[in-house]
Structure 1
Amino acid sequence: MTIDVAPTPWTGRDDGPGVERRRWHHAINKPTNTTVASDASMSGGVAIIGFQSDEGVRRNKGRTGAANAPAAIRAMLVSLSAPAELCAQDLGDVRVNEHAMEAGQERLGHAVAGALQTSLLPIVLGGGHETAFGSYLGLAESGAVNGRRLGIINLDAHFDLRSDPISSSGTPFRQIAELHAATGEDFTYRVLGISEANNTLDLFHTASQLGVKHMIDEDCGITNLPAVTDFVSGFLNEVDAVYLTIDLDVLPAHVAPGVSAPAALGVPFEVILAVCRQLARSPKLLHVDVVELNPLFDIDNRTARAAARLVHAIATEHTALLRETPTAPASSPQTGIELL
C-alpha cells in the first residue's frame, strides 16, 4: 500500500501494566496483550489511515482546514480506553497537494485496498467528504466486493450528489453512481440525517431518480430511535457488503462546531452512536471513514472528541465481532507499505 506520511508513535496517559489499564496508544501498532507477538496477531483488526485533504471543500466553496483533521482525531483517540483484544494499526497519511485531489484519492484507494487485502477494517480519518471517492476506489481495487452487492450508508446532513463538472466534497456519491451506471451495477446508497433546508429541490430530485432512500434530521431524534434502527436494518438486509461514511456535520453544531457547514439542528449524538454500533456489529461492514472535521473552527476539541468516540465505538464492536467469529489471519498489515 502507498502512503505519503509515515505514522508517528502514539503516546498518552499510562496507568500501569495490565489489559484492564489498556488505552489506544498501547494498542496501536502492537500485538494484543492476550496473544503471542507475531505478524499474524496483527491481522483482523482495524487500520487507521489519515487523508490530509481539504481541496474538495475549497472547490465546494466551504471552509478549508479539514486537511488537519487526521492529527486532531488521533490526539483525542490516543488515551481512550482500549478493548483488551483490540488490534489496531496506524498506517500513516495520504497528503493531498493543492489542486492534486484526484491523485490523492487514487493513493488513498491504494492504501484502503492494501488494508482490506490484509483482513483489516480500514477507518479513514478525513479530510473533506472527497475522502469518500478515494475510499470507494479502494473498495473496488481490493476485490473485497466482487460478486457482492455493495451498500453505502452516509450519516450526513447533505446528499453530496452534485453534478458539478469539477469534482469536490459535494460530488463523491454522484461520481460513484455514474461508475455504477456505466457497469450496470446497482447503486445502493442511503443517507441518514438529511437537512431539508440545506439541500436544494434539485438534489432531492436527483436522489429520487437514483433510488436513494433517506431520513431527514427531524425524523432522527432520540425518541424516534426505533425508526432509525429499522431504517438501518432494512439497509443491511438489502446488501452483502457495507461502506459506512460519517460526515460530522450530521451532528448538532453544539456537538460538532468544527465542520465546514455546522448544523442548525442535526441528529443527536446518541442516535449517531447507536447507528455506528449497529453497523459495526454486522460482519458485512468492510470500510469506514469519518470526514469534515475542521480543527480551525473547533471549540475545546468538541468535534474531534466526538469523532474519536465514534471511532472507538466502531472499533470496540468490531473487536467483539471478531472475538465471536474468529477468522484465519491473512498476512501482516505492515507488509508492502511504501513511503513516497
Structure 2
Amino acid sequence: MKAGWREPWQGRVDPLDGEAGRRWHQAVQAWQPGAARGVALLGLASDEGVSRNQGRVGAAQGPLALRRMLANLPVHRPLPLYDAGDVTCEAGDLEAAQSAYAERAAALLDDGQLVLGLGGGHEIGWASYQGLVHSTALRAGGSLAIVNFDAHFDLRLAPQASSGTPFRQALDEAEASGRRVAYRCVGISVTANTRALFDHARQRGVIWSPDEALDLRGLDSCRAELLAWLAGHDHVYLTLCLDVLPASVAPGVSAPAARGVAMEVLEPLVKAVAGCGRLRLADIAELCPPHDIDQRTARTAARLAWQIVDAWQSARSAEPGA
C-alpha cells in the first residue's frame, strides 16, 4: 500500500453514538496478508480500455471518487473492511495492469476475502475473471456464473482488448481451458448492441434480460428466475457497469444510457445475486467523475456497493458455524 492510502477515507464522526455511529472511514484498514476474513476493496485505475473502445475517458479517476463516497457509509454490523490499494495502467499497457490486478485479486481471494473491485472502465471484467480462475477456489473446480448488470454485452470482436471485450475474453479462455462458465447479462439495451453482438451472444449461450422488460411488475419473477439459475453454479462473479442505470441517475459514465434500468428494480436484483451464498468477487465499473453531475453516479455506486456487502454479509452470517 502506498503512503497516503487513507486520504479519501475521511468523513463525519458521531462520538456520542459510540460503536453504533461508526462509518466505513472509521472501520477501514490497510490490507495485510492473513487478515481476518472480510471485504477487500481493490481498484483498477484505468480508462485505457474505454479509450480503445472509443468511449469518453475519465474512469481512471473512478476508484478514488468511489472511495470518497464510500467513506461516510454506516457500519450496521461489525465487518473487517480493507483497502488493498489500486493498480494503475501505466503508459497505456492495459494488459500489464490487468495481469497485476488479477494477481492481487487472487491473493486476496486465497486469503479468504470477498473482493470488491472499483473501476475504472469495464476492462476490470477481464482482470477480475483472471483473478478468480487463478484463485484456489476455482482451481479446485466447480462452475462459475458471471452476472453482468450492463446495457452492453461486452462481447466485442476487436484487434486488441478494451472495455468492450472482457467477457468474450472470459468465454474464450473458459472454452480453451475446459472451464464451466456461464454468462448472463441483465439490462441489455437493444439500441446499444449491434446485430453481430446479439448473434454472438446466442452462439455462446449467453442469457440476457433487456432493459425494457425490467420493471416493478416483473421484479419478483425475474428475481426468482435469476436465483434459480444461480443455484446451478458453485461460484458467482457479480459485475456491475453503471451505464445500466438511466442517464439521469448515472450521468458520470463512459456511455450514458438512453433508457436504463430503474434503481428500484436494479437494486433488489443486485442484492439477490450478492446474497446467494456463493459470491466470490464483485466489481463496479465505468464511474467517470469528470462527467458526473452533483456526484450522482458516485453516490449511486456507493449505495450499490454497500448493498452488495450487506447482502453478502447476511448470507455469510447464515452459514453453519458462522
The answer to whether the Cα contact below 8 Å between 1:52 and 1:95 also exists between their aligned partners in 2 is: yes
Tell me, yes or no, if structure 1 residue 320 matches structure 2 residue 314.
yes
Q: Which residue of 2 aligns with 1:144?
A: 137
Report how far residue 78 of structure 1 moved.
0.3
Alpha-carbon distance in 1 for matches of 2:263, 2:104? 30
Q: Who is 2:60 aligned against? A: 67
- In the alignment, what sits opposite 2:19? 19
1:48 maps to 2:41:
yes
The question of 1:84 aligning with 2:77 is answered yes
- 2: CA distance, partners of 1:288 / 1:5: 26
Distance 1:301 1:156, change over 3 A: same
Residue 8 of structure 1: aligned partner = 6
SS in 1 for 2:231: helix
Equivalent in 143, 158, 164 of residue 158 of structure 2? 164
Of 142-151 and 194-203, the range deviating more from structure 2: 142-151
Indicate conservation of the 8 Å contact 2:143/2:233, yes or no: yes
Which among 259, 282, 289 is matched to residue 283 of structure 2?
Answer: 289
CA, structure 1 residues 76+94, in 2 after alignment: closer, same or farther (shift >3 Å)?
same
User: Could you say what secondary structure the match of 1:238 adopts?
Assistant: coil
Name the aligned partner's letter for residue 5 of structure 2. Answer: P
Task: Give matches, 1:162-201, under 5 Å.
Answer: 162-201=156-195
2-side partners of 1:133 and 1:142: how far apart?
14
TM-score normalised to structure 2 length: 0.94
Matched-pair contact (CA < 8 Å) for 1:54–1:67: yes
What is the percentage of aligned positions where both structures have the same residue? 44
Is 2:94 aligned against 1:101? yes
Which range moved further: 143-152 or 242-251? 143-152
The answer for unaligned runs of 5 or more in structure 2 is: none
Does residue 298 (structure 1) correspond to residue 296 (structure 2)? The answer is no
CA distance in 1, matches of 2:212, 2:110: 39
Q: Is the 8 A contact 1:69 1:295 kept in 2?
A: yes
Residue 275 of structure 1 is matched in structure 2 by: 269
For 2:236, the equivalent position in structure 1 comes to 242
Letter in 2 for 1:23: R
Give 4+ residue runs of structure 1 displaced > 3 Å after superposition. Answer: 3-6
* Superposed CA RMSD: 2.0
CA distance in 1, matches of 2:2, 2:88: 6
**246, 249, 257: which one pairs with 1:252?**
246
How many residues matched?
319
Matches of 2:225 and 2:320 in 1, distance apart?
28
> Aligned-pair distance for 1:98?
2.9
Q: Is the 1:6–1:93 Cα contact (8 Å) retained in structure 2?
A: no
Aligned to 1:337: none
Q: Name the aligned partner's letter for residue 153 of structure 2.
A: F
Unaligned stretches of 5+ in structure 1?
32-37, 329-340
Match in the other structure for 2:304: 310
- Mapped contact 2:118–2:285 kept (Cα < 8 A): yes
**Partners in 1 of 2:222 and 2:46 — Cα distance?**
31
